[in-house]
Amino acid sequence: DTEVTQTPKHLVMGMTNKKSLKCEQHMGHRAMYWYKQKAKKPPELMFVYSYEKLSINESVPSRFSPECPNSSLLNLHLHALQPEDSALYLCASSQVGQEKLFFGSGTQLSVL
Amino acid sequence: DAKTTQPNSMESNEEEPVHLPCNHSTISGTDYIHWYRQLPSQGPEYVIHGLTSNVNNRMASLAIAEDRKSSTLILHRATLRDAAVYYCILGSSYKLIFGSGTRLLVRP
């Protein structure tokens, strides 16, 4: 199984809503990542978890709150988002110290 | 973070080789050179990576200049399924900072 599964595939939310994005992998990877991709732009790194601990936060606003409850799961909790936060949110995983990342297909988020 | 420079777009004919260039003049000694590609409506997909020596795998070859300030991704026989945005990236696995990428169009 070399898949990274992201749910939901699409999400529409209002600026006052609270929602969560979920990412799951069963490859035994202990590094997991969140990227944000605006239309026609490259992915931008948001967060990196290593051994379930947050190791990189690329100065992401606090309305985005990541969580890694176990080695297979990565969540991104969303609260009080702005319309400019509308984007494709990509999850990835890798072996710690390995250069090959496996990406999911993303969650397309629209904030109204 | 070191940056990469790639052409915005390139075109190729099906079944011909494709050479995708990347400039990275500010590369540090510890930066790996990575290539990922992104097909429409999908997440990025790993293609190849290297440090100093040329690298080959079943998808592509990576040619790295001796001074490491540039590299070239080589697709030996382009197919229609290779049409994608190709990203040349410097860094480690923890911190892949994507450049703007090259959109590859493959003509049948």
Chain A contact for B105 (CB, 8 A cutoff) = no
| DSSP code at position B79 | -
Considering only CB atoms, A106 lies closest to which of B43, B45, B46, namely B43
Closest CA to A11 of A85, A93, A104: A85
**Confidence band (pLDDT; 50, 70, 90) for B2?**
low
What mean pLDDT is predicted for residues A56-62? 94
Please, is B43 exposed, middle or buried when counting C-beta atoms within 10 Å of its C-beta (0-12, 13-18, 19+)? buried
- pLDDT of B93 > 70? The answer is no
Characterize the bridge pairing of strands B18-23 and B9-13: unpaired
Considering only CB atoms, B98 lies closest to which of A42, A94, A105, namely A42
Alpha helices by DSSP H, listed for chain A, are none
A2-6, A43-47, B17-21, B63-67: segment of lowest average pLDDT: A2-6
Residues in chain A with CB shorter than 8 Å from the CB of B46 are 100-102
Residues in chain B with CB shorter than 8 Å from the CB of A50 are 94
Rounded distance between C-alpha atoms, residue B60 and residue A86, angstroms: 34
**What integer pLDDT is reported at residue B3 of this predicted model?**
87
What mean pLDDT is predicted for residues A63-78? 97
Instruction: Among A45, A99, A103, A105, pick the best mutation site for testing chain B contact (most B Cβ within 10 A).
Output: A99
Chain A contact for B93 (CB, 8 A cutoff) = yes
**Confidence band (pLDDT; 50, 70, 90) for B30?**
confident
Q: Which two tokens stand for residue B40?
A: 């429409």
- pLDDT of B1 > 70? The answer is no
Q: Do B94 and A105 touch (CB under 8 A)?
A: no
* Residue A28, phi-psi category: left (phi > 0), alpha (psi -120 to 50), beta (remainder): left
- pLDDT of B47 > 80? The answer is yes
Chain A contact for B101 (CB, 8 A cutoff) = yes
Considering only CB atoms, B32 lies closest to which of A56, A99, A101, namely A99
Per the CB < 8 A criterion, the answer to whether B44 and B36 are in contact is yes
